[in-house]
Structure 1
């Protein structure tokens, strides 16, 4: 209904708007014509002032050149120039060879150059404070100079605009003389600009003012169709709100109050002729019952899946501990020291894998990944406990930031630390430092440092070659490059992390 009424009133509104706009355009065009006519009259005043000055100076130029210096003709000419003008100016008259014969009191002009042998030059001063002219004879010699200050020209060219909101200026290239600055501008109004030539087209007199604003009657004609549409919309809104929106809001509140696990939807009683709203409420009730049934099934399935995953991790952890215990028993009953060391080396790697599963199982409920700080701490304790007798006093220092990684990264990190620390044990290291520092938002820097990892320590060619091959392969699994500092015995590489935990 609202749309039909709006479309019916649209042509009337368009006619009113177009009529008001056309009226505003006509008023603005009339105002622009009036301003252009007034501006042309003021420009003619400046042209007439320049013409009179030039005629007087040229008429007296021959007499001034021939008369003696003390004849008084020059001063008499200056007096005529001052009396015949509507505005006050300053003048200087010149004789033969460009020598100044007389000038207005306090006026000491600079002699201008005459490019192109012009008969006359009219220019605006650099600072826009005066309008200057210079006259030359046929041979290019200077006959007279004059200038009119900006204040006098502003008085001479004053345009009686009722509002006073307009700008008036003289422009010559990049030079401007502001005669009046009263245009404040209006972001909602249109601006009118007009100009008239001055000094034979050598410069322009420009005026800028606001267009005639739209009258109150025109604004009312534009707003009347809009007000009618608003009135119709208000009536339509009352009807729609009472019979449609209010029942829907009550139903929306009932649906928003529904919580997962509720058996049914508590719908309010609706008094509305719209039967579809009641049917919609019943449909919501049926949907909530279906959702509740499916949620119960999903919760049961998720709980079964959690128990299964926990059972798998628990069994893997127990199996690895059993394997580690068997290896320890075999190591104790080994026939030689080398066999015992081999069993111990295998046991350390099984322990490393068991530590990863134990820490992954601890973080399983939060699903944040494997925490490296407790993992490396536990791994260091296990390596310290299984160290051979030659490395019984070796210290393992930790400097770790709390980062979380995936299980694949955790396994490779555990094996890499185990390999490097075990190599340091076999080479008689007094201490080992394991550090994990921040590199950027997605990577961390893992470093292991020990004096036995330096280049000048000899641990046997076979052991060193196997060690280098294993740690290089593990760094490739971590998709990183292993950096070695032979001088300090430091191995470092970047690993991918998920997020940083609390300190």
Structure 2
């Protein structure tokens, strides 16, 4: 029974010429886990790209909404400031008009101050009204001299460029000018910094803290007055600047705001779909590896090491392994039981068949020996010399077949075939003995045979050919050299050249009676046809030859 291949002999699926180092180097790329990894990567890539596009759109939409909100807030604050300025102007003009018509109006200044306090804060707007002589006719608790000094200092510029409004950094506020219709009274109002801070809701409760990264400032010409603390320039966050013009004035209300979402945060938000994509693919790869690949690799190792006849035990798998793979391992285990039982039955049947075959060959060998003995008895009892020679000729053929059978019986256990050299030597010895009995002299037989093996179906025709031509040598030229050769071909290790040569074969065509030679050649041709090979003849060398297959 042929043995099963060991695990080392089982070919891998890497194709011819594959080597272990290359397998280890590229095993991950060719593995199922890597294929699942790339498939999931490609499958989830559109979702990741769609999520990135959605993130970009969300960031842009959020930035636009924030800009629109800040622009609306700046316009709202600018509108409130414009309303306050217009109210202050109107109040100053009306008060100046009252003072022109009624100098004794004593509580007009108090009512004006109460109006401004109601608009913003107490002392949020300070007032000073002067006549033509520069005498203060109405003033707040704030030093009116500073207001008049600031007005005189910047009066040329206000008259030419700025009109009735001027930013005064030294007064830390917005200076508003008005006058009576006849110009006899000049009214100045200082919109103080703490009142300007009321324009933004961020400073209603804690005006000293810039909680939301926003700042307000007024610009007028080259003057700049921050209403709220400026944004820290050391921050790397992007700053949005919106300028809103104050109606009917040359004032610009500038709103600056830092983006709460920093650039790094935006990048994190933008790349988060990619991170989630890689994480999902890696998690899927881990699941495939732990649930499928590792259990399959363990089961593959056991199956690769399996030898028919043994019991395959399923590997110990973790609880994470796929139930189908565990069931497959159990099926392999049951299958190995069936294969082992079948192998045992086949081995038993093979042993029984081997015993029967040996018995058949043994009986054939014994029967041939009995036939040879019977022929010998008839030869001894024959009174006619021709009949006796005929019995010896038949006995030589039977003995040649018996030699083949005996050598084949001896080589049954090796299962390699019949060894040609011992067979050829034994046939030559039997022919020498038969020739001595028949002609009274021994013929000279030379054997040249390589150590090769033959199938029985090839050895039997060779033995018959040898016995057939030996008759011609013994009958016509027993004194000549009879050469038997069986040599392996150098260019074809699966075949050998069998040749029989003797001088009598060379002289056969020169004899007058050629009928025996024709009979021998007809027999040889029939045996060569049985071997499916042509019979060759060299008349000059006196040699018959043909090519025969060998088994080893």
Question: Structure 2-normalised TM-score?
Answer: 0.47
What is the Cα deviation at residue 325 of structure 1?
Answer: 1.2
SS in 1 for 2:297: helix
- Determine the structure 1 residue equivalent to 2:44: 8
Residues 444, 228 of structure 1: CA spacing in aligned structure 2 closer, same or farther, 3 A cutoff?
A: farther
- Find the partner of 1:394 among 439, 443, 460: 443
> Tell me, which stretches of 5 or more residues in structure 1 are unaligned?
17-223
TM-score w.r.t. structure 1 length?
0.51
Is the CA contact (8 Å cut-off) linking 2:376 and 2:392 kept in structure 1?
yes
Residues 293-304 of structure 1 mapped to structure 2, 5 A cutoff: 293-304=341-352
User: Aligned residue for 2:327?
Assistant: 279
- 1:344 positional shift: 0.8
* Aligned pairs (5 A) from 1:127-166: none
- Residue 416 of structure 2 is matched in structure 1 by 368
Separation in structure 1 between the aligned mates of residue 515 and residue 425 of structure 2, nearest angstrom: 30
Counterpart CA distance in 2 for 1:391 and 1:449 is 22
Q: Once the 2 structures are TM-superposed, how far is the Cα of residue 319 of structure 1 from its aligned partner?
A: 0.7
Q: Shift of the alpha carbon at 1:232?
A: 4.8
Correspondence for 1:494: 547
Answer yes or no: is the 8 Å Cα contact 1:397–1:433 preserved in 2: yes
Q: Can you give the 5+ residue segments of structure 2 that lack an aligned partner in the other structure?
A: 1-35, 53-271
Contact 1:448 1:490 survives alignment (8 Å):
yes
Counterpart residue number, 1:322:
370
- Residue pairs, 1:5-84, within 5 angstroms: 5-10=41-46
RMSD of equivalent CA atoms: 3.5
3-state SS of paired residue (1:488)? coil
Aligned partner (choices 354, 358, 382) of residue 310 of structure 1? 358
Q: Is the 8 A contact 2:428 2:445 kept in 1?
A: yes
SS at 2:370 equivalent? helix
Residue 329 of structure 1 and its aligned partner are, at CA, apart by 1.6
**Which whole-Å CA distance do the structure 2 matches of 1:309 and 1:462 have between them?**
42
Question: What is the Cα deviation at residue 452 of structure 1?
Answer: 2.0
Which string of whole-angstrom CA distances, capped at 9 and with x for unpartnered residues, describes residues 133-163 of structure 1? xxxxxxxxxxxxxxxxxxxxxxxxxxxxxxx
Find 1:472's aligned residue among 498, 502, 525.
525
Aligned residues: 293
Measured at CA, do residues 410 and 352 of structure 1 come closer, stay the same or move farther in structure 2, by a change above 3 Å? same
Question: Deviations 1:59-94 (Å, cap 9, x if unpaired)?
Answer: xxxxxxxxxxxxxxxxxxxxxxxxxxxxxxxxxxxx
CA separation of 1:239 and 1:361: change in aligned 2, threshold 3 A: same
Distance 1:482 1:363 in 2: 28
Does the Cα contact within 8 Å between 1:9 and 1:225 map onto a contact in 2?
A: no
Q: How many angstroms apart in 2 are the aligned matches of 1:252 and 1:493?
A: 52
Instruction: Determine the C-alpha separation between the residues in 1 that align with 2:546 and 2:305.
Output: 53
1:163-191: CA deviations, max 9, x gaps?
xxxxxxxxxxxxxxxxxxxxxxxxxxxxx
Tell me, yes or no, if the aligned pair for 2:417 and 2:455 is still in contact at 8 Å.
yes
Q: Which has the larger radius of gyration?
A: 2
Which of the numbers 521, 536, 541 marks the counterpart of 1:483? 536
